[in-house]
Structure 1
Amino acid sequence: MPQQMFLLSVVSMWLLAGYFLAEATYYSHPLYNRHLYNYRHRIYNHQASMDNQLPPDEPTEVEVPPPRTFHGIMFDAGSTGTRIHIYKFIQKDPAGLPVLDSEMYNAVKPGLSAYGENIEEGAETIRQLLKVAKKTIPKEEWWQTPVLLKATAGLRMMQKEKAQALLDEVKHVFDESPFYVPGNSVSLMNGTNEGVLAWVTVNFLTGHLYANTRKTVGILDLGGGSTQITFLPRSKKTVENAPHEYIARLNMFNTTYELYTHSYLGNGLFASRLATLGALGADGLDYKVFTSSCLPKKYREDLTFGGITYKVSGMADGYAGYKLCYHEVLRVVKGIIHQPYEVKGNSVFYAFSYYYDRAVDSGLIDGSRGGVVEVRDFKKRAKEVCNKMTKYRPISPFLCMDMTYITVLLKEGFGFKDNTVLQLTKKVNNVETSWALGATFDYFNNLNIH
């Protein structure tokens, strides 16, 4: 409990910094301003009248407004699903610190990118999730609750016209809702912000990011369409040896954090499946069958990603297993992923999204608690899964390919050592480990990410 209270206070400190400074939040709403004016006016008149009186025999109590709650709604429009994060904050005192109280989370599949040919149906998924928000947030607070959506790799991989049409339709749904719709409420988020904001979320929730300290943890996020790595370098060589666009600066607590961060579009888990199969960007999808030694020999199914369906199969007359699969997957990673200088050290990284999901599916960690593993543990379990595909097929016929891809990505891609520690987690203090909370913070107080 003391640790949880500490973490909530850490979040509170930062929220306060931008609580009254955001330019495009509901605090600029005329109704809010009127309530704030009336409250200040009552206090001012009370103090003015007291100045003209002799001190009373007994101290007079000033009426303190009761604690108020406020919410923020953040939609994560990912490549494989759309998620809604509803954050609840408590403001006990107008001059005090707001506290992050809780998060309500829900999701639908597939993601918006699957509705490129039917934007109305895609927009309907947003309406359904907004119903969750209406049930979660008291009706009297709807008018002052900001609602935002940020789309990630799924829409970044789409044609710009189709992606924009989907975003425009979502904006129309927002405008019809009873919630507060700020400027730029619906947008396509770039990969740098995705990585940086996930780093902000994890380091706030773990208590590593607060004033006068530089101790943080790195993050590894594996989505369906892209993958991100972000950490605070401890070695100047990491910054000096990195491409210029891999270094981002984040202004927070009057301190500038110089982060190593990059998002690899097309290297998310589902996109990597297609790349391994040789199907990503291929033509002739009506008749071509894409095969891989990473799949069970008798496997024959359709694979849909981003609204496109592919025919995939195992190699019935060939060989299957870890070694062959490893070489297939290596072609997807080799020469594409930059290896930061210091990841061969002993830094701790939090890994989530599909890193976590596949570790659970393969029995590497417990799904209810998460766990700490080393990079070598992914390799060991990948070998077991690939050499016993029949056993693991009911869980997922792609489990061998996915576990091998994660192994190759970590070792051959980023260059992590076998003994690098990975903290696999889905939630910290009951809050999802994603960029969504960081993005909500960014809304309340612009972080100036460059």
Structure 2
Amino acid sequence: MKPTVLLLLLVLLAVSGPSRAQVRSSHLDLPRILPSLSRPANHSRIFYAVMFDAGSTGTRIHVYTFIQNGSEKLPVLDNEMFHSTKPGLSAYADSPETAGETVRRLLKVAKKAVPRLDWKRTPLVLRATAGLRLLPVEKAQALLDQVQHVFDESPFLVPDNSVSIMDGTNEGILAWISLNFLTGHLNANTKKTVGILDLGGGSTQITFLPKLKKTVETAPVADFVARLDFFNSTFELYSHSYLGNGIMAARLAALGALGVEGLEWRVFKSSCLPNKFRDEWSFGGLTYQVSGDPDGHAGYKHCYQEVLKVVKGIIHQPCELEDSNVFFAFSYYFDRAVDAGLIGGAQGGMLQVRDFKKRAKEVCNKMTKFPPISSFLCMDLAYITCLLKDGFGFKDSTVLQLTKKVNNVEASWALGAMLDHFQSLKIR
């Protein structure tokens, strides 16, 4: 080959592309130059959080994916992975190791949802609610110790105080934060917010932002009012949790079975159950023999008197509930409305308080001829009606938003608890 031709080829190669070494170097630099597919192009930070809700009737895991666009702003919730299992941890009060295994199995959900490289910086938190609050202290602590052991073995970030029993008032406040975050009402210019009604197995919560000073001034004691400092806003909330007024605990109270010994030979009768009904029912690790009233005292009127004693003199009626707030009702409010055919199980819907009352009458007065899907449906619907009307003081015409999810995220306190963790909310 002539020298001039060889020189021309070398020049063409130099102009047409990089050398093999340069190509290798460029491939190595690509991840540093270009954002990965899992990250937004503006380099917003993606982070994850795992929250366990240890309730009285089940344990739920929430795996959240957040996008943080700036340190001064609320993070954007990008996704939630949710899974639940029954029964709750309190059912294993006499075998805490089994409770630990329940949590270990649920952790597999988190390992699938969170990228392996992010495990070490993803906080892992469990908060227990009324189920453990109702247990003797030593039994509740044994369950918490087992969960802590499982957490410490996990590959996730386990912060201080990662496993604990949550105060009931905080449960209501954190649920309020969750629902108002999901509905876009948490910002410095907030003029309207939504109230929350949460009906669990062991306790029930009500939280809303009062518009009248009278609501705060007439609260029974100081712990019905909580001040929440949130970025540039301060909210003075009416909030209270009633331990023992969750739907399962209310069944116990209505049956007269609270704290009773000799369960193996006692049968607890109720006019809220079908006349010929007799079966076993378990809650909180204990099993009860329950039956209808064989003497025929059944139906809505008799049942309502039974559940009224669980509410009367216990639930405080705050002011201004009728028209000043939109209330979201979830947990067992939603579940029993679905069971009763009042709303669909997918989207939920708007109900008036009188809708619960009407369906409770229909179920209770016909359960001898047409047994309901659940033997406790009459009692549960009568209790919800009584709690809303004679308890909190809602009018028949009050409209409630029954929901299980908002923007595909579970309606619960769990999201608020994670926002509390990340944003260091001051609740006092």
Aligned-residue Cα RMSD (Å) equals 1.7
SS of aligned partner of 1:387: helix
Tell me which amino acid in the other structure corresponds to 2:362.
Answer: E
What CA distance in whole angstroms lies between the structure 2 residues aligned with 1:392 and 1:119? Answer: 41
Q: Where do residues 18-33 of structure 1 align in structure 2 (5 Å cutoff)? A: none
Distance 1:375 1:203 in 2: 22
C-alpha distance in 2 between matches for 1:294 and 1:253: 48
Alignment of 1:258-277 (within 5 A): 258-277=236-255
CA distance in 1, matches of 2:110, 2:82: 10
Partner of 1:446: 424
Listed as ranges, the matches of 1:73-112 within 5 Å are 73-91=50-68, 98-112=75-89
Q: Which entry has the higher C-alpha Rg, 1 or 2?
A: 2
CA gap of 1:231–1:169, structure 2 versus 1, over 3 A, is same
Structure 2 alignment gaps of length 5 or more: 1-31, 40-44
Q: How far 1:392 moved relative to its partner?
A: 6.0
**In the aligned structure 1, how far is the partner of 2:216 from the partner of 2:70?**
43
SS in structure 2 of the partner of residue 350 of structure 1:
strand
- Judging changes above 3 Å, is the alpha-carbon distance between structure 1 residues 155 and 97 closer, same or farther for their aligned structure 2 residues? closer
Match of 1:73, SS?
strand
3-state SS of paired residue (1:110): coil
Task: Indicate which of 387, 390, 394 corresponds to 1:416.
Answer: 394
8 Å CA contact 1:373–1:421 kept in 2: the answer is yes
Residue from 256, 263, 277 that aligns with 1:278: 256
Deviations 1:293-338 (A, max 9, x none): 0001111111111101111001122221000001111111100000
**Residue by residue, what CA displacement relative to the aligned partner does 1:223-254 show, whole Å, maximum 9, x if unpaired?**
00000000000000000000211000100022
After the TM superposition, list the runs of 4 or more consecutive aligned residues in structure 1 that deviate by more than 2 angstroms: 62-69, 90-99, 344-347, 390-394
Contact map agreement 2:211 2:324 (CA 8 A) in 1: no
Q: Contact between 1:393 and 1:399, CA under 8 Å: does it hold in 2?
A: no
SS at match of 1:175: helix
1:94 to 1:415, Cα distance in 2 relative to 1, 3 A: closer
The CA distance in 2 between the partners of 1:97 and 1:414, in whole Å, is 33
Q: Is the 8 A contact 2:363 2:372 kept in 1?
A: no
Separation (CA, whole Å) in 1 of partners of 2:371 and 2:397? 29
Please point out which of 318, 321, 326 is paired with 2:299.
321
The 8 Å contact of residues 346 and 421 in structure 1, kept in 2 or not, is answered as no
* Paired AA for residue 139 in structure 1: R
Q: Distance in 2 between matches of 1:249 and 1:222?
A: 23
* Runs (5+) with no aligned partner, structure 1: 1-61
Any conservation in 1 of the 2:193–2:325 contact (CA below 8 Å)? Answer: no
Deviation of 1:69 after TM superposition, in Å, equals: 2.9
Give the 3 Å change call, closer, same or farther, for CA 91–233 of structure 1 in structure 2: closer
Name the structure 1 match of 2:228.
250
Q: Which residue of 2 aligns with 1:219?
A: 196
The TM-score, its normalising length taken from structure 2, stands at 0.88
Distance in 1 between residues matched to 2:404 and 2:89, nearest whole Å: 22
Alignment of 1:374-389 (within 5 A): 374-389=352-367
> How many residue pairs were aligned?
389
Task: Show the counterpart of 1:308.
Answer: 286
* Percent identity of paired positions between Structure 1 and Structure 2: 68
Is 1:231 aligned to 2:173, yes or no? no
Which residue is equivalent to 2:169? 192
Deviates more, 1:306-315 or 1:62-71: 62-71
Choose from 101, 109, 131 the match for 1:132. Answer: 109
Q: Does the CA-based 8 Å contact 1:285-1:310 persist in structure 2?
A: yes
Q: CA deviation at 1:393?
A: 3.5
Q: CA deviation at 1:387?
A: 1.3
CA contact (8 A) 1:344 1:417 kept: yes
CA distance 1:290–1:140, change in 2 (3 Å):
same
**CA 1:232/1:92 → structure 2, altered by over 3 Å: closer, same or farther?**
closer
Q: Which residue of 1 aligns with 2:132?
A: 155
Find 1:144's aligned residue among 121, 130, 151.
Answer: 121
Equivalent-residue separation in structure 2 for 1:350 and 1:392 (angstroms): 31
Residue 391 to residue 350, structure 1, CA distance change in 2 (3 Å):
farther
Q: Which amino acid aligns with 1:237?
A: K
Contact 1:79 1:111 in 2 (8 A): yes
Cα deviation for residue 286 of structure 1 reads 1.4
Please list the CA deviations of residues 163-216 of structure 1 after superposition, one character each: whole Å capped at 9, or x if unmatched. Answer: 011111100000001111011100110011000000000011111221122310
Contact 2:100–2:143 under 8 Å retained in 1: yes
Q: 1:381 to 1:265 in 2, by over 3 A?
A: same
Partner of 1:57: none
Other-structure match for 2:373: 395
User: Alpha-carbon deviations, 1:356-380, whole Å to 9, x = none?
Assistant: 0000000011111100011111101
Cα distance change of structure 1 residues 162 and 342 upon mapping to structure 2, 3 Å threshold: same
Question: By how many angstroms is 1:63 displaced?
Answer: 4.9
For residue 344 of structure 1, report the CA deviation from its aligned partner. 3.6
What is the Cα deviation at residue 266 of structure 1?
0.3
Q: Structure 1 residues 342 and 94 mapped into 2: Cα distance closer, same or farther (>3 Å)?
A: closer
Separation (CA, whole Å) in 1 of partners of 2:253 and 2:334:
22
Structure 2 counterpart of 1:431: 409
1:90 is displaced (CA, Å) by 3.0
Matches within 5 A, 1:318-397: 318-390=296-368, 393=371, 395-397=373-375
CA–CA distance in structure 2, aligned partners of residues 429 and 312 of structure 1 = 40
SS at match of 2:193: coil
Equivalent residue in structure 2 for 1:288, among 237, 252, 266: 266
> Partner letter of residue 415 of structure 1?
G
Are residue 176 (structure 1) and residue 156 (structure 2) matched?
no
C-alpha distance in 2 between matches for 1:385 and 1:370: 20
Contact persistence 2:144–2:164 (CA under 8 A):
yes
Amino acid at match of 1:107: S
Q: CA deviation at 1:346?
A: 4.3
Partner Cα distance (1:159, 1:252) in 2: 35
Paired residue type of 2:103:
I
Q: 1:13 matched to which residue of 2?
A: none
User: Could you say what secondary structure the match of 1:318 adopts?
Assistant: coil
